[in-house]
Amino acid sequence: MEIQIFGVRKSAETRKALRFFAERRVRMHFVDLMERPASKGELRRFVQKFGITAMIDQASKRYHELGLRHSHMSDEGWLERLAEEPLLLRMPLVRNSSQVSVGADEATWKKWMER
- Domain architecture of the chain: domains with CATH: 2-114 (3.40.30.10)
Backbone angles phi, psi at 27, to 5 degrees: -65, 135
H/E stretch holding 27 reads strand 27-32
> What pLDDT does residue 105 have?
93
Residue partners of 71: CB distance under 8 A and separation at least 6: none
Instruction: State pLDDT tens for residues 67-83.
Output: 888 778 888 989 998 99
Question: What pLDDT is stored for residue 12 in this prediction?
Answer: 94
pLDDT for residue 69? 80
Q: Please name which of 35, 10, 20, 11 lies closest in space to residue 92, comparing C-alpha atoms.
A: 11
The rounded distance, in Å, linking the Cα atoms of 36 and 59 is 23
